[in-house]
Amino acid sequence: MKSAPFEYLRADSIASACEALRREGDSAKIIAGGQSLVPIMAMRLVRPSLLVDINEIAALKFIAVERDAVRIGACTRQALVERDDALASRVPLLRQALAWVGHVQTRNRGTLGGSIVHADPCAELPLAAQVLGAKMVLRSSSGARTLAAEEFFTGPMVTATDSSECLEEVHWPVWSEPRTGCAFTEIANRHGDFAMVSAACQLALDGEGRCVRAAFGLGGVGQTPLAFPRLAARLLGTKLDEAVVKSVAQDAAAQTEPGSDLFATADYRRHLAGVLAARVIRAAQEKAGGGK
Partner 1 sequence: MSEKLYSISVEVNGVARSAHVPARLSLVDWLRDDLRLTGTHVGCEHGICGACSIMLDGEPVRSCLMYAVQADGHRVTTVEGLANPDGSMSVLQDSFCKCHAMQCGYCTPGMLIAAKGLLEANRHPSDTEIRAAIGGNLCRCTGYQQIVDAIHDAARRMASGAK
Query: Interface residues with partner 1 (CB under 8 A)?
Result: 1-8, 10, 31, 34-35, 38-39, 41-43, 51, 53, 55-56, 79, 102-106, 108-109, 191-192
Where is 205: in which H helix or E strand?
strand 197-205
| Residue 166 burial (C-beta neighbours within 10 Å; 0-12, 13-18, 19+) | buried
Tell me, what amino acid is at 172?
Answer: W
Of the candidates 60, 40, 69, 54, the residue with the CA atom closest to the CA atom of residue 129: 69
Give the C-alpha separation, 122 to 222, whole Å.
9
Nearer to partner 1 by Cβ, of 35 and 140: the residue is 35
Nearer to partner 1 by Cβ, of 114 and 225: the residue is 114
Q: How far is the CB of 104 from partner 1 (least distance, A)?
A: 6
Q: How far is the CB of 141 from partner 1 (least distance, A)?
A: 23
Nearer to partner 1 by Cβ, of 80 and 197: the residue is 80
Question: What are the Cα distances from residue 132, in Å, to 43, 217, 272?
Answer: 33, 9, 22
Nearer to partner 1 by Cβ, of 63 and 137: the residue is 63
Nearer to partner 1 by Cβ, of 38 and 65: the residue is 38
Q: How far is the CB of 199 from partner 1 (least distance, A)?
A: 21
Phi-psi region of 11 (alpha: psi -120 to 50; beta: other; left: phi over 0): beta
Nearer to partner 1 by Cβ, of 106 and 238: the residue is 106
Nearer to partner 1 by Cβ, of 102 and 274: the residue is 102
Beginning with the edge strand found earlier in the chain, give each strand of the sheet holding 180-187 in spatial order: 180-187, 197-205, 211-219, 226-227
Give the C-alpha separation, 125 to 213, whole Å.
21
Q: How far is the CB of 53 from partner 1 (least distance, A)?
A: 6
Q: How far is the CB of 222 from partner 1 (least distance, A)?
A: 25
Q: How far is the CB of 55 from partner 1 (least distance, A)?
A: 6
Give residues with Cβ within 8 angstroms of 206, minimum separation 6: 179, 212
Beta strand 135-140 pairing with 143-148: antiparallel
Give the C-alpha separation, 114 to 34, whole Å.
8
Q: How far is the CB of 152 from partner 1 (least distance, A)?
A: 25
